[in-house]
Structure 1
């Protein structure tokens, strides 16, 4: 299912480029509805596999759309907060509910609960406005202004952001017309020759490596098994509740801290702290004895690690994914990065038992900590501070190393870079 998500990435990119953000969201919420219906009635293996296919494509598409819809619909000051709620807290709540209901109820009844949320997801976009950023990228500037003002009002800051959006997209459309690069494939061919594209891809690759090495997916899927292996106890309900609580507590703390500090400060403070805890945890596992208190020290360190990761790196890196790519091609470029990430997640789950058998949990966590430290070092080198910056300013920085949109558009030499 994780690998099938890559198909969802590409499908969402193609559809949302052609027809906007609303209708693809409705469509893929509808395919998620089909997934739950098939699962509810499934009796044969091929029916379960078909359900997983629909589910994987839908999850991949909706994950992509969630990230980019929220980033395009919110203001620069509130964007990290709302992305944290939608991309991290909501899935954590859903995962926790799924685990608890799966223990308390028959799985077919749990599928009905999922069906209800999918139907709701298909209905709500009918009440949205279209993304003003997508409208601007298609040259529909009057509709863009109307949609933008419905979302943000007419404050001085929002009007400035709107004018930057329109001015920048008009400039890009003019250049595309002059160079005959309006079709998407031609734009992609041109972008492949740009330095900023490869800089962005390389940065996203190190972000992918960091997230894969962090153990996010193996822990969310196999957390109770890992804890059982470490403690020797087999209380499934208690461990499942503990794992879900850890996955939820961190993002809630993140909502508190994200308003009070910068993205870079929070990311690197929590990131390097988590790496240090992982190294200490690995050492404790290596030197552990059979005393029960030692097992619970290990569980405490593992819990603290995931609380910190969910409070800092996980939500912040997902927010950065939604900000760092150019508007007209962001979903296509994210498809490349997201496909690599999904492959990495699948590989990490597949390799987990072999690594544990070969080098033990302590060895695996040391390897992970080294990969995370190297990746975080590169991210520290390349990532600018994005808090309070509009998507246009961030895009301009990645293209020209200058946040000032008006200055760049007024300079013909710099303008050629966009």
Structure 2
């Protein structure tokens, strides 16, 4: 057995022998504050996703944009997010989780300011691109930071705070966007960035990242700060240190290393969940909800406000159930609901095409989109990001995070860019495609996605990435 194989065997031993690393613990004030500051980024994420729907008519009227030009604006955020995703993992490894969040805030603030003062398509698109770059960073670093600071018995609930705040951000923008113009809405969208920049000065860095970069005193101090002054951190600290020392004997992972058989299952699960989430229509429906309701002959304001009202409580239900029912059951229920919602929307548009039940069809679209949105908030919105943060070992997390985030945002760009054109070709067919992909998601989760509830990160990663040599 060579040095690399011995190190990988050591990971299995370290993970299976201890119960510490992120073991049982309580929700201290510092942990709550750190999570709250981190999920300001999630709130920003949600606001950026939700912005293009209520702003659509105002921007098109004020700046004279065509549908094709607005499609560029709506989808260019995902191009920026692709760029942010490419550098997200390596940047978070280089400057730390807090540093990466700070850089994302600067990018998002710059983007929102450009949108606020734009008088034409070019500055509008530059602003949206910058917001996308920031969101691409946020989408990776926030779930990773939360998973690395939280005890295993609380990690699911705290991890889905990302999902909850993302849904809340979208909901607030949908709701507020019905009563304010698009420039004021952009100013409101910049608010979470400012809050997070201030908050970053008051929270600790991830202990696992500090241990990885060799800051022994700092990582123990950060861990004690998070767990409470009088808590016993010896077992957790020892397991993190031993696991990190063993990882240091293995070369820092590159993206090409992810394609080894050792990481095959983790890569398949991470990439598969992200691709299915986006090809199932999530960002397309969020970006263009207003135009979907209008094309169905239903009130856009009533539809988007209802989406906002329904999604938040369903996300809260997901947060409450995360560490009780587990990740897999919530994902299965969520995917089933999105499948049903898209099927109902597609059926409604099909009835309109055949001039049948034309009085009922708009209400059926409304029901379908609301069912979709509520179901998506229950699990698919945030659980793929949580699982991504759990299944890759820390020496591969940077490369894996960049690749998985890249897949998510590239798929989002494809769907959001072609969505309006698909709707022109066949509105019903567009939603039936989304419904079919949601059906594939059910099968994928049932067959391949592991349950990570109640397990330390070290245990999950050793089980998902076993020694194969």
TM-score tier (shorter): 0.7 to 0.9
**Alpha-carbon distance in 2 for matches of 1:111, 1:135:** 36
How is 1:100-119 mapped onto 2 (pairs within 5 angstroms)? 100-119=175-194
Q: TM-score with structure 2 length normalisation?
A: 0.75
Larger deviation, residues 262-271 vs 316-325: 262-271
Q: Give the C-alpha shift of residue 53 in structure 1.
A: 2.8
Check conservation: 1:3, 1:346, Cα contact below 8 A: yes
State the match for 2:405 in structure 1.
Answer: 338
Distance in 2 (alpha carbons) for counterparts of 1:212 and 1:108: 28
Q: Which moved more, 1:196-205 or 1:14-23?
A: 196-205
Q: 2:305 aligns with which of 214, 237, 241?
A: 241
For the 8 Å contact 1:6–1:335, the answer to whether it is kept is no
Alignment partner, residue 276 of structure 2: 210
How many aligned positions are there? 389
Deviations 1:87-142 (A, max 9, x none): x2223322333334444334333333334432221111111111101011123233
1:51 and 2:117 matched: no
| Number of the residue aligned with 1:255 | 319
Return the alpha-carbon distance in structure 1 between the equivalents of residues 343 and 107 of structure 2.
43
- Judged with a 3 Å threshold, the aligned counterparts in structure 2 of structure 1 residues 110 and 331 are, in CA distance, closer, same or farther, namely same
Separation in 2 of the partners of 1:18 and 1:101? 38
Q: Is this contact kept in 1: 2:139–2:405, CA < 8 A? A: no
Instruction: Name the CA distance, whole Å, in 2 between partners of 1:190 and 1:140.
Output: 28
Does the Cα contact within 8 Å between 2:112 and 2:189 map onto a contact in 1?
yes
TM-score by length of 1: 0.84
What is the match of residue 79 of structure 1?
A: 155
Q: Note if 1:70 corresponds to 2:155.
A: no
Summarize the alignment of residues 392-411 of structure 1 with structure 2, pairs less than 5 Å apart. Answer: 392-400=458-466
Contact 1:224-1:243 within 8 A present in 2 as well: no
CA distance in 2, matches of 1:262, 1:151: 24
Instruction: Please say if residues 337 and 371 of structure 2, whose CA atoms lie closer than 8 Å, have aligned partners that are also in contact.
Output: no
Distance 1:385 1:226, change over 3 A: same
Contact 2:270 2:404 in 1 (8 A): yes
- Higher relative CO (Cα under 8 Å, sequence separation at least 6) belongs to 2
- 1:355 pairs with 422, 433, 440, which one? 422
Distance 1:236 1:263, change over 3 A: closer
User: Paired residue for 2:93?
Assistant: 17
**Is contact 2:255–2:399 with CA below 8 Å preserved after alignment?**
no
Task: Name the SS for the 1:260 alignment partner.
Answer: helix
CA contact (8 A) 2:327 2:383 kept: yes
Q: Does 1:386 align with 2:462?
A: no
C-alpha distance in structure 2 between counterparts of 1:52 and 1:222, whole Å? 15
- TM-aligned CA distance change 1:115 to 1:349, over 3 Å: closer
1:41 aligns with 2:107: no
* CA shift for structure 1 position 285: 4.8
Other-structure match for 1:403 = none
Give the root-mean-square deviation of aligned CA atoms. 2.6
**Counterpart for residue 374 of structure 1:** 440
Residue 226 of structure 1, CA deviation = 1.4
